Structure formats: structure tokens, C-alpha cells
Amino acid sequence: MSEAQAQSPLKSPDCAAWLDEHGDYLYKYAIFRLRDETAAEDVVQETFLAALKAYEKFEGRGSERTWLVGIMKHKITDHFRRVAREAPIGEGEGEGPEHNELFEQSGQWTGHWNADHAPTDWHATPAELIERTDFWRVFTDCLSPLPQRTASVFTLREVDGLKSDEICEILNISANNLWVMLHRARLHLRNCLEINWFKRPER
């Protein structure tokens, strides 16, 4: 910020301090949802720029951080919209792995769980899991092999709790498409978490 700007009668925030105070927070919020460093940095930048333009409207009502997160939510949605527009579905990526190996492929029990891959008791509750930082590392790693769009659908639905039709509208996909992607994401993530977290003896 230039000297003239700092002394301007229009109360604009001290950008450097602003970034120091909220930058990491916003970045963590974004990276958890986008899983892409460049995209997360871009969204943080767009959020601060939009906030700077709208600063007069904020007028110190409520918490600055809550206000910034509110702006960022829109910027993340815009990001998903843009990606969906630039790379329409059906070009190069599928919905995700089918994981047929989890089920019997022949014999009288074809299509039923293979005993080696069948779900087991997790002995866990959301309240315990949310406290475990290392659980979120495994969670993020488990999402990473999924196609970007499938992981995005999962995050919008299961982390942000958007409604199915809102997600279809943002990503420009059909309901059927959404169901397939969510199913593939859940099947993969559940299995991956079971192997890498719930069955690990030392967790």
C-alpha cells in the first residue's frame, strides 16, 4: 500500500496486517475444500481483493474473519463453476474407481462382499474423530486419488452440506451423474479409511 493510500480519509484496512491476521486461516479453509495449492492461493487472493472493494459495506459489523469467510465461500463456488465450464464432464476423466475387487466376482456369491474387504466395526464416533489431526491427514490422502470433480462433489455435499440440486447447478451435471460420483467417492473413501485408519493397530 502506498503512503498516500495509508493516509487516505477512506478507511481502508492495512493490507499487510490483514493478510498476516487472516491469510493462513483462509488458506486452510480453502485447501481443505480444493486440495490444490494454486487454486487455494488464487481463491485467497480473490477473497481479499473482493473484501477490499467492499470494505465500506463491512463497516466493522460483526467479526472481520466471519465476513471474509462468507466472501470466500462464494469465491470457492465460483471456482467450481469456472472449472466445470472450462472442462465439461466426459472429457478425460471418469466418475472414479468402481472397486469391483471389493465384491465377489464369481461363484454363487457374485456381487456380495468379499470377506477380506467387507466393512467391520469402526468403534468410532464423529466426536472422537474430529479431534484427531492425523485422521484428517488420512482423510485428505484418501480423497486425492479420486478425479478432481468427484472429490469436489463429495466435499460440497459432505463437508459443506450443500443440497444435491445446488451442486448439480454449480457443476452443471445431472442428478444421476451426481449420485454415481457420490457413490464412487463414498465407496472409495470408506474402504481407504478402514484400511489406513480404522484397521491400523497403533492409531
Name the site residues for another protein (rule: CB under 8 A): 1-2, 5, 12, 15-16, 18-19, 23-25, 27-29, 31-32, 37, 41, 44-45, 48-49, 52-53, 100, 102-103, 110-113, 118-122, 124-127, 129-130, 133-134, 136-137, 139, 158-161, 164, 175, 178-179, 182-183, 186-187, 189-190, 193-194
CA distance 98 to 26: 34
In the complex, least distance from residue 144 CB atom to another protein, rounded to whole angstroms: 14
Question: Residue 85 or 144: which CB sits closer to another protein?
Answer: 144
* Nearer Cβ to another protein (67/139): 139
Nearest approach, Cβ of residue 91 and another protein (Å): 25
Cβ-based burial of 200 (10 A; exposed 0-12, middle 13-18, buried ≥19) = exposed
Specify the amino acid at residue 203: R
Compare residues 70 and 87 and give the one whose CB is closer to another protein: 70
How far apart are alpha carbons 89 and 77 in whole angstroms? 17
Determine contact, residues 140/35, Cβ cutoff 8 Å.
yes
Kindly tell me which of 134 and 169 has the beta carbon lying closer to another protein: 134
Q: How far is the CB of 145 from another protein (least distance, A)?
A: 16
